[in-house]
Structure formats: structure tokens, C-alpha cells
Amino acid sequence: MKILIVAETKESALRKTSFELLSQASELGSSDITALLIGKGVASLAPQLGHYGASQVLVAEHDLLEHYTTEGYTYAVKQAIDSLQPDLVLFAASANGKDLAPRLSARLDAGLVSDALELKHDGSKFVAVRPLFAGKAYANVSIASSPALVSMRPNVVSVKPADASRSAEVSNLDVSGLSADMIRAKVTSVEQSGAGKLDVAEADIVVSGGRGLKGPENFNLIENLAEVLGAATGASRAVVDAGWRPHGEQVGQTGKTVSPTLYVACAISGAMQHMAGMSSSKYIVAINTDAEAPIFKVATYGLVADAFEVLPELTEKLKAAKG
């Protein structure tokens, strides 16, 4: 079984999703795993892909590939698929992966399963589990095309430890045919919000605040706890719509879907549309004054208390516990 994984980088480093894809590929029992590394000046990252399980790394280096663009990256992945003829191509269901993978699905006329939670091979075809209706149901799907394309939801596959003794064969992919006119939608700048600020969608711990916090000035309680935990900050739609928090923080059906190890919901009632975005978190902590709040139904640990009283105490005590 030949597998191609499309690695993702951010600020000259490999993103964790790339290692998740490599772990998923080896879990399928394949030993023929090629990682595609796309960018400008990214070749130095190739050995690390080997440590995480790639048997081969293809490096697609080009000035025009410095930033992600749909058409530039589609061209590069298509080149790799043409040269390798893989049975399976794995993408991360990240912002860019979700933009890219379907473009390839149409170009190759190949089936794509997006946002998969699990992936197996049943001896004759690839079968995956993916959520429908915001996770209220799961579908077991099979893919009737070769290659099969799958984007995996970030944070669901656990990463196998790196082994520095493993090395991949590294070669260059020919992307010399790429020219500026092929990229019709051009990326003119990339703006990161707040240096080092974690995004809710990729953080391992998320601390979210809701309307019960009464005003934007009180979100320092959320930020302080997030800082101690090394967490990203999230929000309910009620507080985003009120203008207290930026859109990028909204968790839920019309915001982001998150699957962190720990999700802390503070003064959030737990409306169906909010839970749609966070109920697949491994552990959930809920802090709410209302013992009947629906959020407690999904909470691993619930604390019926006033967030204004307990958040400072919790932050201090966790800080002390961390030493």
C-alpha cells in the first residue's frame, strides 16, 4: 500500500498534523509512506518527517510556493500523485487542507472523505468514519476510487514518538512547470493575530468564556487561566456576536470545531450549537452557576459555582501545582 501524505508547515516548522498523518499512515500497516513537503527553503525539515515515519520525502521547492495558494499547491500535489501513483493521499483537515483536498478531488475525479476521525483498510478498500450533522451522527464511508483521498481531523490521531535513527530517502519533486500566471488567486499577505497566540482549532487545551462573564473586561479571567494552562482562548457565539471577543474564537456550529484534550467552558450554558463544536473534546470541565445548565451533561468535571469567584482561585492553584 502506497501512501502519500501532504505535510503542512507554519513559520518554517512542521505542524503537528503532519506527524499525525504519518502515524495514521503507519497504523494502516504501510511501509511505503511518502511525505510531500511544499514551500520555499523547507528542505531542512525533511529528516524530521523521516523520524516520524516517512520512508521517502519529496521536496517541492519553488519561489511561488512560499505561501499556501490553492492553485500553486494543487499543482504540486498533482505532480507528486502523477509521479508516485499512490493508493491513498492524506491531508490534514486544516484551513488550507480543506481548501486544497477537494480541488484535487475534482482534478483527479477521485473520492474525498473530509474531516475523518478514523481510517482503515478492509482488505479491498479504504473505510473511514466521519461526523455528520455537527457530530450528532457518524457515517461509516468507503471510497470507490484510486487514489482515495482523505483529510483527517486534527488532534484525533495520536502521534507515535519520533525515532531519530529512522531516516527517509529525500528527493526533489519537479515543480519547474509552475508559473505565476497559473496562480490566479494570489496571497498578498499573511497576518497572524498576536505573536505566539494559539488558535482554538489546534490547541491541546482550550479555555472558553460565555455570556455569564457579563462583559469583555472580564475575559482577563479566561486569559489568565489559559496562560497558566498554555491554552488557547475560545468563546460562545453570544459573546462573539456581542463584540466582546473576535470571530476567530467562536466555538460551535457556525464557528470552529475543536477536539482538544481538555476543554474548559466557563459561564457557557451549553446550547446545542455550542456543543456541536466541542463535544468531541477528550475531557470537558464546566463552570456554571446553574446546576441545570446543559453543559454539565457532557462535562467530565462540573463545578457549580460563580466563575468570578472560582476562576482566580483555580488559576492560582493550577499555577502552584505546575510549580
Partner 1 sequence: MDIIVCLKQVPDTTTVIQIDPSGKEIVRDGITNIVSPYDEYAIEEALNLRDANGDGAVTVLTVGPASAKDALRSGLAMGADSAIHVITDESPLGLDSLATAKLITKALEGKSFDILFMGRQAIDDDAMQMGSLVAELLDIPQITTVIKLEVNGKAVKAHRTIEGGIQVVEAQLPILMTAQKGLNTPRYPSMKGILKAKKKPVEEIQASSMGIDLSPKVIIESMTMPPARPAGRIVGSVDELVKALTEEIKVV
Write out the binding residues for ligand FAD, residues 284-323 only, by CB under 6 A.
Answer: 287-290, 293, 306-308
Site string for ligand FAD, 239-258 (x = CB under 6 A): x----------xxxxxx---
User: CA 136, CA 86: separation in Å to the nearest integer?
Assistant: 33
Closest among 24, 14, 12 to 4, alpha carbons compared: 24
Binding range to ligand FAD, per CB under 6 A, among 69-77, 82-90, 216-224, 272-280: 272-280
Closest among 245, 224, 223 to 236, alpha carbons compared: 245
User: CA 66, CA 1: separation in Å to the nearest integer?
Assistant: 31
Q: Which of 13, 132, 180, 242 binds partner 1 (CB under 8 A)?
A: 132
Name the one residue in this structure whose C-alpha cell is 482566580: 312
The answer to whether 278 and 265 have CB atoms below 8 angstroms apart is: yes
Instruction: Please give the residues from 152 up to 211 whose contact with partner 1 meets the rule CB under 8 A.
Output: 184-193, 197-199, 201-202, 205
Per partner kind, with CB cut-offs from 5 to 8 A, the member of partner 1, ligand FAD, none near residue 248 is: partner 1
User: CA 281, CA 141: separation in Å to the nearest integer?
Assistant: 23
The DSSP element (H or E) to which 23 belongs, if any, is helix 16-27
Site string for partner 1, 29-68 (x = CB under 8 A): --------------------------------------xx
Altogether, the residues listed in the chain come to a count of: 323
Considering CB under 6 A, how many residues would be counted as binding ligand FAD?
Answer: 28
Assess 303 for contact with partner 1 (CB under 8 A): yes
Q: Which of 145, 167, 218, 224 binds partner 1 (CB under 8 A)?
A: 145
Site string for ligand FAD, 174-213 (x = CB under 6 A): ------------------------------------xxx-
Per partner kind, with CB cut-offs from 5 to 8 A, the member of ligand FAD, partner 1, none near residue 261 is: partner 1
Which residues partner with 251 through β-bridges?
256
Instruction: Please give the residues from 101 up to 120 whose contact with ligand FAD meets the rule CB under 6 A.
Output: none
Q: Compute the least distance from the CB of residue 275 to ligand FAD, in Å.
A: 9
Assess 279 for contact with ligand FAD (CB under 6 A): no
Per partner kind, with CB cut-offs from 5 to 8 A, the member of ligand FAD, partner 1, none near residue 279 is: partner 1
Letter string b/e over residues 121-133, b meaning 16 or more CB atoms within 10 A of that residue's CB: eeeeebbbebbee
User: CA 241, CA 260: separation in Å to the nearest integer?
Assistant: 24
Q: Report the amino acid identity of residue 2.
A: K
Assess 133 for contact with partner 1 (CB under 8 A): yes
Closest among 34, 15, 17 to 26, alpha carbons compared: 34
Assess 26 for contact with ligand FAD (CB under 6 A): no
User: CA 26, CA 41: separation in Å to the nearest integer?
Assistant: 27
Binding range to partner 1, per CB under 8 A, among 37-45, 159-167, 168-176, 269-277: 269-277
Q: How many CB atoms lie within 10 A of CB 107?
A: 13
User: CA 278, CA 259: separation in Å to the nearest integer?
Assistant: 6
Nine cell digits for residue 243? 463584540
Per partner kind, with CB cut-offs from 5 to 8 A, the member of partner 1, ligand FAD, none near residue 103 is: partner 1
Closest among 266, 65, 11, 249 to 174, alpha carbons compared: 65
Assess 273 for contact with ligand FAD (CB under 6 A): yes
Nine cell digits for residue 38? 511544499
Assess 236 for contact with ligand FAD (CB under 6 A): yes
Q: Given the rule CB under 6 A, which residues bind ligand FAD? A: 210-212, 236-239, 250-255, 267-269, 271, 273-274, 277, 287-290, 293, 306-308
